[in-house]
Chains A and B, each alone.
Chain A
Amino acid sequence: MSSIVNIQGLTKDYGQNGVVTHALRGVDLTIESGEFTAMAGPSGSGKSTLLNIIGGLDRPTTGRVEVNGQELNRLSSTKLSRLRRDRIGFIFQSYNLIPVLTVLENAEYVLMLQGVSAAQRRERVRDLLKEVGLEGMEDRFPRELSGGQQQRVAITRAIAPEPALVLADEPTANVDSKTAIALLDLMRQLNEEKGVTFFFSTHDPNVMKQARRLVLLRDGRISRDGGMVEGLDTE
């Protein structure tokens, strides 16, 4: 396996009104291709900040972050934008679907940005929607779907361009526990069958159990990497 994410000595400080907050205090992390990794930790431990930096949405204060062989600090905004489009899939806590586009159009949005022909992207997205259990719902709008269904569309949108890495920030936080397990089953199935690398944050111990690797973050540092989730106090 080759590493998709390679982080060394990552720090991130936020300053406001002269008060500096150390969100990340020296994170070292490697994620290999094909991994299915969960990240847990209390609120404010730096989970979202770490995901944002890996996703190229935010810049580190110090340290080296390499994603898919590219050192993010050296990339311009345009190249970062291209990296996000072509190599990274995003799944957000609140789905973030485009309300005026249908299920099919939402799912094919990134493919459209990549310039994939309409026929090709329709074919690919229809197959994926079938796999995630949304067959027959292609023409519905997000408002006509349940939370779990909307997140399935978001997952389809994230994996449709066949990215090297899918980052998910608390993807099950807004759905009930049954739906959360179903979504995790789906992500895991996609990981196993298609080899998609997932790195996601969560608060939910039931969701953590689904992960093959668990990274625990506390006060901006990795306090534990690997092992079982039983007995962990994530709050």
Chain B
Amino acid sequence: MIIRLAWRSIWRNRRRTLITASSIGLGLTFAIFFISLSEGMYGQMIDQVVRMQAGYITLEHPDYRDAPAVDLWVAVPSEIRTEIEGWPGVEKTKLLVLGQGIAKSGAGNMATAIMGVEPSVEIQSSPLARNIIKGSYLETHDNPLVVVGCEMAERLNLRVGKKMVIATNDVNGMLVEELCRVKGIFKTGSEEMDAYFIQMPLGFARRLFRMPDESATQMGIILKNPDDQRRVLRKVQQKVSDFPVAVLSWQEVLPELASYIKMDKGSNYVFQGILIFLILFTIFNTILMSVLERKREFAMLLALGTRPGQLRLQIFTESIFLGLIGCSLGLIVGSLAAYLVHVFGIDMSTIMGESINISGFALTSKMYTKISPGIFLGSTTIVFIATMLLSLITMRHATRLSIVDTLR
């Protein structure tokens, strides 16, 4: 009967119940949508950056992180690479040669990051290869052709087909120079990439740095689903345990990106926390009002012999119903909104241009949400528990009343 009493009690003031349930639903909808959107944006940002660089998981020389240099190369046997590519969850592997140098043209010199890549892999997996704005992207045997960022092209007055010189130190520390031509100019939206990076075929990079065949400074692993990172990383560690290589996550390879996301997530949580707090305050007020205006009824129930615990149970059951109605509403609307943006995306290009630069990391202006049961159920659980905790506070008003004074 307590369940029946609680269910009917919440509908005795239909408008207030609908307002309370809508407040809960609205709060949860906001929480689900904005968490999904921010997770989606982080996911997009990470995916774009790791695809352009050394993947979600990186294999490199154990000392490379301490002093990155081309002499700290690794040579992962091709059969291991082939095997890893066959694992579930792995989309592709890529070899990279990363080094530093000076790019020279008739217009001047610029420090540059030299990136030797496998063009056939990059075309399939890297956004950079799809962001060529002039000329075309590299092919495997394009010696000695390079693609450069639009900022660098402007500063060094480079155009497609123009010659430039790249000067660097080889694996033995000797100063080397190579003449090459610009095959394409890319624009990623990332200031760092567009002003600093030069890409060239892997073979050309090995020749430039005098590195052996099959060698690379990194082997990167691109995953189909970033959530598989930990599982695949463990598997790779086991697989290459006999080789002198370090297996690193993208968070270790790109600590500045990981820190930025961590910091941004923190401020997002604060913002969402404030939003939810304001909504919970509304919910608290309506629940409290419904309790206070029934004090006489509660006093009568206590007079009849209802134990305070039974009365608390009744009010708690009412809150459970309110929470369930509101959370169901929020879960349905929030999930639906998140799903639609996951499928169709939100195009922010009219407001933000073709790409957004966040702390040096480029992000396309079409934003997608990340949909995951964890986000949906986690947000729902938090809002539901918060509603229940609020009802615990209001309960005291119902059971700590003076029966005689209230009934008088």
Contacts and interface: CB of A to CB of B under 8 A. Distances in A.
Interface string A74-110: 0000100110111000101000101111000100111
B385 interface: no
Interface residues of A, number: 25
A52 interface: yes
B305 A86 contact: yes
Interface size of B as a range: 20 to 34
A184 B151 CA distance: 99
Contacts of A96: 296-297, 300, 407
B interface SS class = helix
Given A99-B12, A100-B5, A105-B4, A57 B304 contact: no
Given A57-B403, A57-B404, A112-B1, A98 B297 contact: yes
Contact of A55 (B296, B297, B300, B303): B303
Given A98-B297, A105-B4, A112-B1, A81 B302 contact: yes
B310 interface: yes
B8 interface: yes
Given A58-B404, A109-B1, A90 B303 contact: yes
B304 A101 contact: no
B9 interface: yes
Contacts of A105: 1, 4
A228 interface: no
A186 to B, nearest CB: 20
Contacts of A52: 404
B304 A109 contact: yes
8 contacts: A84-B303, A85-B306, A98-B5, A101-B4, A101-B8, A105-B1, A110-B305, A113-B304
A81 B301 contact: no
Contact of B304 (A48, A58, A84, A100): A84
B303 A113 contact: no
Interface string B258-276: 0000000000000000000
Interface in B292-333: 296-297, 300-308, 310
A85 B404 contact: no
B306 A113 contact: yes
Contacts of B305: 81-82, 84-86, 110, 113
Given A81-B305, A82-B305, A84-B303, 7 more contacts: A84-B305, A85-B304, A96-B296, A96-B407, A105-B1, A105-B4, A113-B310
A110 B302 CA distance: 11
B104 to A, nearest CB: 85
Nearest to A52: B404
A39 B44 CA distance: 81
A58 to B, nearest CB: 5
Ranked 4 nearest A-B pairs via Cβ: A85-B305, A100-B8, A96-B300, A84-B305
A89 to B, nearest CB: 9
Interface in B8-59: 8-9, 11-12
Given A99-B12, A101-B8, A113-B310, A57 B1 contact: no
Contacts of A57: 303, 403-404, 407
Nearest to A59: B404
Nearest to B1: A112
A13 to B, nearest CB: 14
Contacts of A108: 1
A109 B302 CA distance: 12
A52 B305 CA distance: 13
Nearest to B405: A58
Contacts of B408: 48
B307 A78 contact: yes
Contacts of B403: 57-58
Contacts of A86: 305
Contact of B300 (A58, A81, A92, A100): A92
B317 to A, nearest CB: 13
Contacts of A81: 302, 305-308
A48 B303 CA distance: 14
Contacts of B1: 101, 105, 108-109, 112
A17 to B, nearest CB: 16
Interface string A41-58: 000000010001001011
Contacts of B296: 96
A199 to B, nearest CB: 16
Contacts of B306: 81, 85, 113
B402 to A, nearest CB: 9
Contacts of B303: 55, 57, 84, 90
Nearest to A95: B300
A86 B304 CA distance: 9
Query: Which of A82, A96, A108, A112 neighbours the largest number of chain B CB atoms within 10 Å of its CB?
Result: A96
B309 to A, nearest CB: 9
Contacts of B4: 101, 105
A109 B305 CA distance: 10
Interface in A88-145: 90, 92, 96, 98-101, 105, 108-110, 112-113
A190 B123 CA distance: 94
A82 B301 CA distance: 13
A156 B5 CA distance: 19
A57 B303 CA distance: 7
A90 B304 contact: yes
